């Protein structure tokens, strides 16, 4: 990724020099750097607020309540792991955190869920179906409230940052369902291969 950014910068500088607009390129770089600092600083307060709200929701049992509601769905999607596995609750909590756009809060929960899923993985050298499903769900990133995106829009001075909620919900719902469907299809196509001893 660093090489790509370096390449883009070099191409921009060369293009600006060739077209006689090198000053515009330099000004754009400096103004962009200044704006990035402003956005980063503005994110501190907003992210602190949402992470605090998430912590309050966790302490008062709201996240656990939501997790219990979606737990039956989680059990059906991850039917390869035992129902009493801590991974089921961790997956539900990770999904709940992602749904509120709090990827930073969901990350440690997701790591813990992966560790639990690895315990149930028969082949420690490759990812299990449950691990692939969980990764697909997290990558799709279903969001009810895109808190991080709203924070960025507020940081750059956007007048109506909440207007992003409806389109984000639509897009992430489609991508989330697509990820689950494709993961299930690939699970059917690629069955675990048996070794010479007859074990999976």
Structure confidence by residue, pLDDT tens digits, 93-130: 788 777 776 666 677 778 888 888 888 888 888 888 88
Three-state DSSP class for 160? coil
CB distance 129 to 180 below 8 Å: no
| pLDDT exceeds 60 at position 196 | no
Alpha-carbon distance values, 15 to 8, 12, 25, 71, 179 (Å):
10, 5, 9, 54, 39
Q: Is 194 within 8 Å of 159 (Cβ atoms)?
A: no
Domain borders along the chain are 43-189
Q: Dump pLDDT digits (tens) for 34-84.
A: 777 877 776 677 667 766 776 787 678 776 777 677 777 777 788 778 777
Q: Output the pTM of the full model.
A: 0.61
pLDDT reported for residue 110: 83
Residue 198's alpha-carbon distances to 26, 123, 124, 191, 194, in angstroms, are: 65, 14, 17, 14, 6
Residue 198 predicted with pLDDT over 50: no
> In this predicted structure, what is the pLDDT of residue 199?
46
């Amino acid at each position: 990724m660093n090489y790509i950014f370096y390449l883009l910068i070099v191409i921009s500088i060369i293009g600006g020099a060739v077209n006689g607009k090198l000053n515009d390129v330099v000004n754009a770089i400096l103004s962009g750097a200044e704006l990035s600092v402003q956005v980063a600083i503005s994110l501190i307060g907003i992210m602190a607020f949402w992470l605090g709200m998430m912590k309050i929701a966790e302490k008062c049992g709201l996240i656990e309540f939501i997790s219990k509601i979606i737990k039956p769905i989680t059990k059906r999607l991850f039917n390869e792991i035992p129902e009493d596995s801590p991974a089921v609750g961790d997956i539900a909590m990770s999904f709940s955190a992602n749904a509120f756009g709090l990827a930073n809060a969901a990350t440690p929960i997701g790591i813990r869920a992966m560790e639990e899923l690895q315990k149930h993985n028969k082949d420690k050298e490759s990812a299990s179906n449950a691990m692939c499903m969980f990764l697909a769900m997290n990558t799709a990133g279903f969001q009810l409230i895109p808190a991080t995106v709203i924070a960025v829009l507020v940081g750059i001075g956007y007048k109506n940052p909440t207007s992003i909620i409806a389109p984000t919900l639509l897009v992430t719902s489609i991508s989330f369902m697509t990820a689950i469907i494709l993961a299930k299809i690939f699970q059917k196509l690629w069955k675990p291969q048996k070794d010479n001893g007859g074990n999976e």
